[in-house]
């Protein structure tokens, strides 16, 4: 009972500390955008959108231009007070923090959903599953390849297989993902016509759920292959290094001296001990992957979080940039807290 209370207290402390990290990041972000005048631009843009809609509505009932301008002036003055534009930026920080936490940053000036919505929350909710489809598939493939090939190389360090895998890892790590993506498009899309050049669906998209799903997988295959080839080398070599280091521990030599089979030693003594750093790499990579691959998604015209961030930066869409920064920080905090729970499950010593 005492152990459970202590464990719950530890996890609660970790959760609060990560929430504090999220709050500090938001506080710094708001401070930067406030001091540089970006927050004024965002609020003016939001207010301008609302005023245009109100003006179109009032123009149907107020036909006199002078009366319409007087009415709009009064509405604008009221909105300036409501949005706090009559106050310094540091007095608006609490309300700005709440707006970011709720993703209530108004509308995007340059991006919209497929259904025509320009609400930032709708845009992010539409793009996030697209990134999850690509990046989680890449993450799972790389983790499996690293576990299988990396462990195989670790069992015979210095062998020809180990040297070949080390050479492949170096090449894979050195090749830029966007350049490999262009090469893959040139080879398999332009010359051999096996895969499409980019996008999520064909034009026009097929009708029916099954044909549409198959078309989606066809378009996703080449980006997944490209990113797997570009990132698998680092995964394989990292897994090999972790397993090799663990295999040289004294308790592993003692297990072998007892006459246990090599397979039992590998999975019970080496892989199990190496699991925490491997899970750390997997969880933190998930947080990074969900942010999307900006250049790769741009090369393949894949409408995910990476391409969304690229478009937001290119068009200087301040509100969308702020919302994406908050979402990426929130994803990291959630993954980091999940990692603390995984540590408790994998290593009972952490509970003490």
Quote the pLDDT of residue 158. Answer: 83
Tokens 């007087």 belong to residue? 70
Q: Which residues of 281-292 are buried (b: 16+ CB within 10 A; e: fewer)?
A: bbbebbbebbbb
CATH class of 123-351: mainly alpha
Neighbouring residues of 110: CB distance < 8 A, sequence distance ≥ 6: 311, 312, 315, 317, 320
Answer whether 320's CB lies under 8 Å from 327's CB.
Answer: no
Provide the pLDDT for residue 2: 46
Averaged over successive runs of 10 residues, the pLDDT of the chain (352 residues) comes to 59 76 76 74 77 85 84 88 79 73 72 86 90 92 92 85 91 91 93 92 89 94 94 92 86 86 84 84 84 84 90 79 82 82 69 54
CA 258 to chain centre: 46
The reported pLDDT for the residue numbered 347 is 65
CB 325 within 8 Å of CB 337: no
Domain boundaries, the chain: 2-101, 123-351
Reduced to 3 states (helix: H, G, I; strand: E, B; else coil), residue 200 is coil
Q: Provide CB contacts within 8 A for 95, sequence distance 6+.
A: 84
The answer to whether the beta carbons of residues 168 and 228 sit under 8 Å apart is no
Q: Distance between CA atoms of 30 and 28, rounded to whole angstroms?
A: 5
What pLDDT, on the 0 to 100 scale, is given for residue 105?
66
Closest C-alpha to 95, from 319, 318, 104, 86? 104
Query: For residue 8, which phi and psi values (nearest 5 degrees)?
Result: -65, -40
Q: Which residues pair with 119 in a beta bridge?
A: 107
Task: Specify the pLDDT at position 1.
Answer: 47
Whole-angstrom CA distances from 136 to 92, 256, 285, 288 are: 38, 37, 10, 11
| 348-to-159, 252, 270, 351 alpha-carbon distances in Å | 35, 19, 16, 6
Q: Look at the block and give the residue holding tokens 């207290």.
A: 9
User: CA 283 to CA 231: how far, in whole Å?
Assistant: 15
Report whether 131 contacts 296 (CB < 8 A): no
CA 349/CA 352 separation, integer angstroms? 6
Task: Give the containing element (helix H, strand E) for 309.
Answer: helix 305-314
pLDDT in tens, 246-280: 888 888 888 888 888 888 888 888 888 888 888 88
Helices 305-314/318-346 angle, 10° precision = 150
- If we measure between CA atoms, which residue out of 183, 181, 186, 193 comes closest to residue 218? 193
């Amino acid at each position: 009972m005492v152990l459970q209370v202590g464990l719950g207290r530890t996890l609660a402390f970790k959760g609060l500390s990560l929430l504090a990290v999220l709050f500090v990041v938001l506080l710094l972000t708001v401070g930067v955008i406030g001091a540089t005048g970006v927050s004024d631009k965002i609020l003016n843009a939001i207010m301008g959108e609302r005023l245009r809609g109100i003006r179109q509505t009032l123009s149907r009932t107020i036909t006199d231009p002078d009366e319409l301008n007087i009415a709009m002036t009064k509405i604008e003055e009221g909105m300036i007070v409501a949005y706090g534009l009559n106050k310094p930026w540091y007095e608006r920080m609490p309300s700005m923090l709440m707006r970011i936490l709720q993703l209530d940053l108004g509308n995007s000036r340059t991006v919209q959903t497929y259904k025509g919505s320009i609400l930032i929350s709708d845009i992010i909710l539409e793009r996030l599953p697209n990134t999850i489809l690509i990046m989680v598939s890449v993450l799972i493939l790389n983790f499996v390849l690293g576990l299988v090939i990396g462990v195989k190389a670790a069992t015979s360090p210095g062998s020809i297989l180990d040297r070949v895998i080390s050479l492949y890892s170096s090449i894979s790590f050195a090749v830029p993902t966007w350049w490999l993506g262009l090469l893959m498009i040139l080879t398999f899309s332009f010359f051999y016509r096996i895969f499409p050049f980019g996008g999520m669906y064909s034009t026009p998209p097929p009708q029916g759920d099954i044909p549409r799903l198959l078309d989606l997988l066809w378009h996703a295959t080449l980006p997944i292959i490209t990113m797997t080839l570009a990132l698998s080398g680092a995964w394989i070599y990292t897994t090999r290094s972790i397993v090799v280091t663990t295999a040289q521990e004294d308790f592993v030599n003692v297990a072998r001296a007892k006459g246990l089979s090599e397979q039992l030693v590998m999975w019970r003594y080496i892989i199990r001990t190496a699991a925490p750093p491997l899970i750390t790499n997997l969880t933190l990579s998930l947080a990074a992957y969900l942010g999307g691959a900006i250049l790769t998604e741009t090369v393949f015209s894949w409408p995910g979080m990476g391409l969304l961030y690229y478009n937001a930066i290119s068009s200087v869409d301040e509100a969308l940039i702020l919302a994406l920064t908050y979402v990426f920080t929130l994803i990291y905090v959630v993954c980091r807290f999940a990692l603390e729970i995984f540590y408790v499950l994998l290593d009972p010593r952490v509970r003490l």
